[in-house]
């Protein structure tokens, strides 16, 4: 039996429905991200936002926040649109409304309101909001101080690889002022931050390996982590690598390499590195003796020490400068 052409066929609408707000949102995203046509992008975002699309409301807020597609930033409007998105549960909008309340951007400052919105974002899994809520509990801003709650939120954030939270946990466990000191936990979180590439944490991990703080002493790993820090131009890391070369500590003694790394740190303004560089030029360690360069670096070290209020090193520098001045005057 032949099938009749008049049989009712399901229309495409029964399988899917086109959401016009999503179409407008996607058009706006293409214009913003690929074409960099912010004016047209804003128009599409506004179309979608006026249909109640929370993502579009967020992007309208973003455009006003950053001043994209307009002559200047419109912070009160940014707050208004972020708040609309936040009321629909948009997690990033919740966090940003909290930040706006904290700093008083486009709205009257309120630590309590800030905590309310950031806490909602944190409960939805926003790692930076979790870190900020931890700070709120630690400092008692917008909520009653509660160190236990602070540690809980810092840990949740750190478990999502939030670098700020990892560094905060390492600091709190290392100092031991608000919680019992635990050098093993301090090392654990510092190492995690170092593995994410934070140069300061890489330096701290190296120092912990060097002195056996929270872990077994291991000069090989200390040199490895100092080097990683130094390769990111961390002046403390550069200085320590230089010292290890100068002293032959776990590496073959090499005064030229020692001077090379110490000089890198000195050029970034590290006073103790400037003093060592000046000394090496004065003695001819790893370089020919150069009294003028030595005098130059002692002078720089003096200026740095005055800025740092480092009286002990300043006295040493002044004494060396006076000695060099006498040498130069007799030439």
Model confidence over 170-198: pLDDT tens digits?
Answer: 999 999 999 999 999 999 999 999 999 99
Confirm if 166 and 192 have CB atoms less than 8 A apart. yes
Q: Above 50 in pLDDT, residue 36?
A: yes
Please tell me the distance from the alpha carbon of residue 321 to that of residue 136, in angstroms, as a whole number. 49
Which two structure tokens, joined as six digits, stand for 54? 């929370």
* Structure confidence at residue 254 (pLDDT): 97
Which two structure tokens, joined as six digits, stand for 65? 């926040």
Q: Considering the chain, what is the average pLDDT of its residues?
A: 94
Q: Above 50 in pLDDT, residue 144?
A: yes
Q: Above 50 in pLDDT, residue 2?
A: no
47-94 pLDDT tens trace? 999 999 999 999 999 999 999 999 999 999 999 999 999 999 999 999
Residue range 18-88 in CATH 1.25.40: yes
Query: Fold match between 18-88 and 233-331?
Result: yes
> Looking at residues 223-231, what average pLDDT do you find?
98
Confirm if 170 and 204 have CB atoms less than 8 A apart. yes
CATH topology of domain 233-331: 1.25.40
Q: Above 70 in pLDDT, residue 331?
A: no
Q: Above 90 in pLDDT, residue 1?
A: no
Distances (CA, A) of 295 to 154, 266, 277, 291: 48, 14, 10, 6
Please tell me the distance from the alpha carbon of residue 48 to that of residue 231, in angstroms, as a whole number. 47
Confirm if 109 and 103 have CB atoms less than 8 A apart. yes
Instruction: Using a pLDDT cut of 70, give the percent of the chain over it.
Output: 95
Confirm if 102 and 111 have CB atoms less than 8 A apart. yes
Domain ranges of the chain: 18-88, 233-331
Please tell me the distance from the alpha carbon of residue 297 to that of residue 35, in angstroms, as a whole number. 51
What interhelical angle do 183-195 and 199-211 show, nearest 10?
Answer: 140
What are all long-range contacts of 215-223, with beta carbons under 8 Å and residues at least 24 apart?
Answer: 215/184, 215/187, 219/249, 219/250, 220/250, 222/250, 223/249, 223/250, 223/251
Least confident range from 9-13, 97-101, 105-109, 234-238: namely 9-13
> Looking at residues 141-156, what average pLDDT do you find?
98
Burial class (CB within 10 angstroms; exposed 0-12, middle 13-18, buried 19+) of 122 = buried
Please tell me the distance from the alpha carbon of residue 188 to that of residue 190, in angstroms, as a whole number. 6
């Amino acid at each position: 039996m032949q099938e009749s052409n008049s049989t009712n066929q399901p229309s495409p609408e029964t399988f899917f429905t086109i959401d016009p707000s999503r179409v407008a949102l996607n058009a706006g995203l293409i214009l913003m991200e690929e074409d960099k046509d912010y004016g047209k992008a804003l128009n599409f975002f506004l179309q979608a936002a006026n249909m109640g699309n929370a993502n579009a409301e967020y992007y309208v807020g973003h455009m006003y926040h950053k001043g994209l597609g307009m002559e200047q930033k419109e912070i009160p409007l940014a707050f208004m649109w972020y708040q609309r998105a936040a009321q629909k549960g948009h997690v990033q909008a919740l966090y940003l409304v909290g930040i706006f309340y904290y700093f008083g951007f486009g709205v009257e400052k309120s630590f309590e309101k800030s905590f309310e919105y950031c806490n909602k974002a944190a409960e939805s899994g926003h790692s930076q909001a979790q870190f900020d809520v931890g700070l709120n509990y630690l400092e008692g801003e917008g909520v009653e101080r509660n160190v236990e709650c602070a540690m809980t939120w810092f840990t949740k954030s750190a478990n999502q690889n939030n670098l700020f939270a990892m560094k905060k946990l390492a600091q709190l466990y290392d100092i031991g002022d608000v919680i019992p000191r635990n050098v093993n936990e301090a090392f654990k979180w510092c190492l995690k931050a170092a593995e994410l590439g934070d140069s300061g944490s890489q330096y701290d991990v190296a120092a912990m390996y060097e002195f056996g703080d929270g872990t077994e002493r291991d000069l090989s790993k200390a040199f490895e982590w100092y080097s990683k820090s130094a390769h990111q131009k961390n002046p403390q890391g550069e200085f320590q690598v230089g010292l290890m070369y100068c002293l032959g500590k776990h590496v073959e003694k090499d005064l030229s390499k020692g001077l090379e790394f110490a000089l890198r740190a000195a050029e970034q303004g590290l006073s103790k590195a400037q003093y060592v560089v000046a000394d090496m030029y004065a003695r001819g360690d790893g370089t020919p003796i150069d009294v003028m360069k030595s005098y130059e670096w002692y002078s720089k070290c003096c200026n740095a020490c005055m800025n740092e209020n480092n009286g002990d090193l300043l006295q040493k520098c002044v004494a060396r400068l006076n000695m060099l001045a006498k040498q130069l005057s007799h030439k």
